[in-house]
Amino acid sequence: MQRSWTTFGRALHLDLAPEAARRPAIERALRAAIRAGKLPVGTPLPSSRALAQDLGVARGTVVEAYGQLVAEGYLATRQGSGTVVAWAAAAPPRRRQAAPAAADPVRFSFRTGRPDVSTFPRAAWVRALRTALVRAPDRALDYGEARGRPELRATLADYLSRARGVVAAEDDVVVTNGFGQGLALLAQALRAAGGQQVAVENPCGLEIRQVIEAAGLIARPVAVDAEGLVVDELSDQDAAVVLTPAHQYPLGETLSPARRAAVVAWARVREALVIEDDYDGEFRYDRQPVGALQALDPARVVYAGTTSKVLAPGLRLGWMVLPRPWAERVAQVKGLADGQAPVLEQLAMAELIRNGAFERHLRRMRKEYRRRRDALLEAVASRAPGIEPAGIAAGLHLLLRLPDAGPSEAELEAACLGRGVTVLGLRSFMAGRPPAPGGLVVGYATPPANAFEAALEALAEGLESGLRAGAGPAAARPRR
């Protein structure tokens, strides 16, 4: 039944529910009227007796409602003035005339660092999650170890040993919210141990440098050549070095056997850490994936992996296999940061690996990404002669090295954007000025499967038009 009261000159309406719910109804109506500005500050409210009579409710109901709103700050009681409104509604913000939204020129992205998330094995994940929930003891849903659920750590230790040659035991594994968090936790532990700087590959992912610097350390760039990281440029002051030995990001080189031995020898002599980012090591197309560097010296090399490239970045699951003392330090920092990684995702991931669905997905995606790589290479060869692909043996991206005479990275980026395609030039990954003529880093896993052919055609058109536009007299001179 709807009632209204007009005792203080305003008709305020409310639905009177059963007796037990009438006080909350009065409170809601008064709050709404005050927030809407219908009852300005200082407005006197009717006495509890008058309002109760007007509404046909018990006086005690109104007294309790007034008391609740006084406690919340909406009303105040004043000697000789009764109950008055004490809270002022904020003036509504002035709305600016919104500028018309510009049409997004991007139709397709070939940026790196992402898989095709449309291929995520949803059905297998749901089955794994259901099985994990059925089998999980109640205590698994309580607060747990900062280093991660033992089911996932044990499963990872076994899988990484089989698939990547990692030397690991359950207690060496720390589960993190992706590689970024793992690196941040380790950087904090390094700083607490007295470290001041960490060497990074140049070029590398910008976020690597950002994470290290956010932890209060110096990220010192070290050159990369055809054999990978130039180990001779490592410093006595480097507490650690972060590198991507299986498939250098973004150049695509594989760390040579001599450099692998050299970087491990450097770490032993300097008592430093080598942080191996194995971000896409499972995707190798010309032979078996190169084994993990960590196996050469588990006491000095930290192995880091993630689901971000093989499943989906949104899972936010990563792992680090660390020398035992560092595993304990990182787990302690992890516990202070957020307690633990999400439990249900950990349990589901352990089941996905255990039942074989994870490796089946990897085999399927290895074939799919190889098909895409081959199609990209064919398109470049036929539509963009003069551009030299590099780093094609593995991973989810390749580098298109530009000819000495021709358009710049920025000009080709713009030509591709004109066709609705985003790509990144090599300069986006460099600390300092990149060497000419540079290149484009193309992530062929990013476009969804149902749009890949159209995306590839748009990319080829962009490259073709950019090369044609840069073939004039000015572009014919080698750039310095």
Q: Residues 158-182: what's their mean pLDDT?
A: 97
Least confident of 42-46, 128-132, 333-337: 42-46
Q: Residues 37-63: what's their mean pLDDT?
A: 86
Residue 402 reports pLDDT greater than 70: yes
Q: Residues 85-107: what's their mean pLDDT?
A: 70
Q: Sorting pLDDT into bands at 50, 70 and 90, what band is 474?
A: very low
Q: How far apart are CA 39 and CA 275, in angstroms?
A: 64
Query: pLDDT tens for residues 410-466?
Result: 999 999 999 999 999 999 999 887 677 789 999 999 999 999 999 999 999 999 999
The residue among 461, 463, 459 whose CA lies nearest residue 451 is 459
Query: pLDDT tens for residues 112-130?
Result: 989 999 999 999 999 999 9
* pLDDT > 70 fraction of the chain, expressed in percent and rounded: 90
Residue 146 reports pLDDT greater than 60: yes
Burial of 76 (0-12, 13-18, 19+ CB in 10 A): middle
Tokens coding 136 = 């999980």
Q: Sorting pLDDT into bands at 50, 70 and 90, what band is 256?
A: very high
Residue 4 reports pLDDT greater than 70: no
Q: How far apart are CA 158 and CA 154, in angstroms?
A: 6
> What does the DSSP 8-state code read for residue 425?
E
Least confident of 87-91, 170-174, 223-227: 87-91
Instruction: State phi, psi for 320 to the nearest 5 degrees.
Output: -130, 135
Residue 300 in 3-state DSSP? coil
Structural contact between residues 225 and 200, judged by C-beta atoms closer than 8 angstroms: no
Residue 327 reports pLDDT greater than 60: yes
Least confident of 53-62, 238-247, 254-263, 450-459: 53-62
Residue 71 CA to chain centroid, in angstroms? Answer: 43
Length of the chain: 480
Scored b (16 or more CB within 10 A) or e, 224-244 reads beebbbebeebeeebbbbbbb
Quick one: pLDDT at residue 477? 36
Q: How far apart are CA 286 and CA 289, in angstroms?
A: 9
Q: Residues 149-167: what's their mean pLDDT?
A: 97
The residue among 352, 294, 346 whose CA lies nearest residue 322 is 294
Least confident of 17-21, 287-291, 319-323: 17-21
Verdict on whether the full-model pTM lies above 0.85: no
Quick one: pLDDT at residue 287? 81
Quick one: pLDDT at residue 286? 84
Residue owning tokens 């290895």: 366
Q: Sorting pLDDT into bands at 50, 70 and 90, what band is 281?
A: confident
Q: Residues 168-174: what's their mean pLDDT?
A: 97
Q: Sorting pLDDT into bands at 50, 70 and 90, what band is 480?
A: very low
Domain architecture of the chain: domains with CATH: 2-85 (1.10.10.10), 120-358 (3.40.640.10), 360-469 (3.90.1150.10)
Q: How far apart are CA 442 and CA 459, in angstroms?
A: 10
